[in-house]
């Protein structure tokens, strides 16, 4: 799933192509549905975007927002969705069917992009709205961890109010916007904290470590992804991971093996030496440190 760094890179990638500083912005010539289910709104219709220039491309947490002269094409790529850019799209109109292409957007120079989704569990979501804040999951987003207003004091207050595991706090979009399963693993590894530590029980020193790890890990990932074509971002993300997705490999910090805790529909990775005092976490849904 694309998280804050990859979504930021996609915003940059699209902005360069759709909102150029010279020659004027690209104009939408068509929004075509390959999957009726992907569209979560009914007004305005896709046809309303034809002829509109692109004013800006923005990010709201993990959502991308293409502002077309006041109408917004907002989408969330979910777990298996992606954006595939083409400098020259096929002329044939996209038709609903069994294609992995859920949505196609065309521009006046023949370029455009497809939103694709692999697998059978479809959760990619597209919203055509006049105001992004009308999308419920955007309206409920917590603060952006890259914002200047996201201070140590704000972060400490967030943690102090939650008697839940820190891994879940970092992933909760209503608490902090933009961080998912992968980067929460990375941040906790850098901060040397157990994913199951209770947020409200962290010491001031641990809160400070976690705050710096969160800001620096995300900024490093944003910088590493910046300027990369959309098609390279997935591989770049995987290559930059320290522990996430690296079960059984050596921890880059201490050399211990990276371990995993599996849940019904996800998993987390961590280093016992760096994060849990050398004690492996039990691999079950209600995991606790082994006694």
288 part of a folded domain: no
- Note the pLDDT of residue 290: 42
What is the arithmetic mean of pLDDT over 251-269?
Answer: 93
In a domain? residue 282: no
Q: Is residue 145 part of a domain?
A: no
Per the document, the length of the chain is 291
Percent of the chain with pLDDT over 90: 87
pLDDT given for residue 161 in this prediction: 95
Pick the last residue of a domain from 139, 164, 189.
139
Given a contact cutoff of 8 angstroms between Cβ atoms, the answer to whether 19 and 57 are in contact is yes
Pick the closest to residue 13 from 102, 111, 122, 137 (CA basis). Answer: 111
- Mean local confidence (pLDDT), 38-53: 96
Residues 235 and 157 placed together within one structural domain of the fold: yes
SS (H, E, C) the chain: CCCHHHHHHHHHHHHHHHCCCCCCCCEEEEEEECCHHHECCCCCCHHHHCCCECCEEEEECCEEEEEECCEEEEEECCCCEEEEEECCCCCCCCCCCCCCEEEEEEECCCCEEEEEECCCCCCCEEEEECCHHHCHHHHCCCCCCCCCCCCHHHHHHHHHCCCCEHHHHHHCCCCCCCCCHHHHHHHHHHHCCCCCCEHHHCCHHHHHHHHHHHHHHHHHHHHHHCCCCHHHHHHHHHHHCCCCCCCCCECCCCCCEEEEEECCCCEEEEEHHHHCCCCCECCCCCCCECC
Phi, psi of 34 (to 5 degrees): -100, -15
Looking up residue 188, the CATH number of its domain turns out to be 1.10.8.50
If asked whether residues 108 and 214 sit together in one domain, one would say: no
96 pLDDT exceeds 60? yes
Residue 17 scores a pLDDT above 80: yes
In terms of domains, do 135 and 13 share one? yes
Judge if 130 and 22 occupy the same domain: yes
Residue 187: per-residue pLDDT: 98
Q: Which CATH number fits the domain that encloses residue 82? A: 3.20.190.10
For 198-208, the pLDDT digits (tens) are 999 999 999 99
**C-alpha to C-alpha distance for 278 and 109, rounded to whole angstroms:** 58
Q: Which range (57-66, 200-209, 257-266) has the least confidence?
A: 257-266
Whether the Cβ atoms of residue 275 and residue 195 lie closer than 8 Å to each other: yes
Question: Are 19 and 61 contained in the same domain?
Answer: yes
pTM of the model: 0.93
Would you place residue 58 in the very low, low, confident or very high pLDDT band (cuts 50, 70, 90)? very high
Residues 161-196: pLDDT tens digits?
999 999 999 999 999 999 999 999 999 999 999 999
Residue 115 phi, psi dihedral angles, 5° rounding? -100, 120
Residues 25 and 104 in one domain: yes
Query: In whole angstroms, what is the distance from residue 138 CA to residue 237 CA?
Result: 24
Q: Does residue 230 sit within a domain?
A: yes
Looking at the fold, whether 256 and 194 belong to one and the same domain comes out as yes
Beta carbons of 195 and 188 less than 8 angstroms apart: yes
- Identify whether the C-beta of residue 249 lies closer than 8 Å to the C-beta of residue 167: no
Q: Which of 165, 190, 174 is nearest to 288 (CA)?
A: 165
Distance from C-alpha of 245 to C-alpha of 238, rounded to nearest angstrom: 8
Domain identity same for 130 and 100: yes
At 284, is the pLDDT very low, low, confident or very high (cuts 50, 70, 90)? low
Considering the domain architecture, whether residues 264 and 165 belong to the same structural domain is answered as yes
Residue 135 sits in the same domain as residue 197: no
Q: Which of 137-141, 225-229, 261-265 has the lowest mean pLDDT?
A: 261-265
Residue 289: inside a domain, yes or no?
A: no
Phi, psi (deg, nearest 5) at residue 183? -75, -25
User: Residue 270: which domain range?
Assistant: 152-275
CA dist., res. 183 & res. 199, Å (int): 17
Closest CA to 103 of 48, 54, 53, 46: 46
What domain count does the chain have? 2
pLDDT score, position 118:
83
Please give the residue that has the higher pLDDT: either 122 or 230.
230
pLDDT given for residue 288 in this prediction: 45
pLDDT of the residue at 145: 97
- In terms of domains, do 125 and 199 share one? no
Mark whether 125 and 190 lie in a shared domain. no
């Amino acid at each position: 799933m694309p998280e804050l760094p990859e979504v930021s890179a996609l915003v940059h990638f699209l902005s360069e192509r759709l909102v150029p500083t010279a020659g004027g912005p690209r104009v939408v010539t068509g929004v075509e549905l390959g999957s009726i289910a992907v569209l979560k709104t009914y007004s305005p219709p896709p046809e309303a975007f034809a002829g509109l220039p692109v004013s800006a491309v923005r990010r709201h947490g993990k959502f991308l927002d293409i502002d077309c002269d006041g109408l917004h094409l907002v989408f969330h790529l979910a777990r298996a969705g992606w954006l595939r850019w083409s400098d020259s799209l096929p002329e044939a109109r996209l038709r609903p069917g069994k294609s992995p292409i859920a949505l196609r957007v065309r521009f006046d120079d023949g370029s455009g992009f497809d939103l694709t989704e692999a697998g059978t569990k479809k959760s990619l979501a597209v919203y055509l709205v006049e105001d992004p804040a009308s999308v419920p999951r955007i309206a409920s987003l917590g603060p952006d961890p890259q914002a200047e207003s996201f201070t140590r004091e704000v972060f400490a207050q967030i943690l102090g109010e939650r008697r839940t595991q820190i891994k879940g706090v970092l992933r909760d979009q209503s608490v902090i916007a933009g961080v998912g399963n992968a980067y929460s693993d990375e941040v906790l590894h850098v901060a040397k904290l157990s994913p199951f530590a209770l947020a409200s029980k962290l010491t001031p020193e641990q809160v400070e470590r976690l705050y710096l790890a969160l800001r620096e890990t995300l900024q490093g990932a944003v910088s590493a992804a910046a300027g990369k074509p959309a098609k390279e971002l997935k591989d770049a993300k995987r290559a930059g991971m320290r522990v996430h997705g690296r079960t059984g490999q050596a921890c880059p910090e201490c050399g211990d093996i990276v371990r995993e805790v599996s849940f019904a529909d996800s998993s987390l990775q961590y280093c016992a030496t760096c994060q849990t005092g050398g004690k492996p976490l039990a691999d079950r849904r209600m995991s606790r440190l082994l006694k």
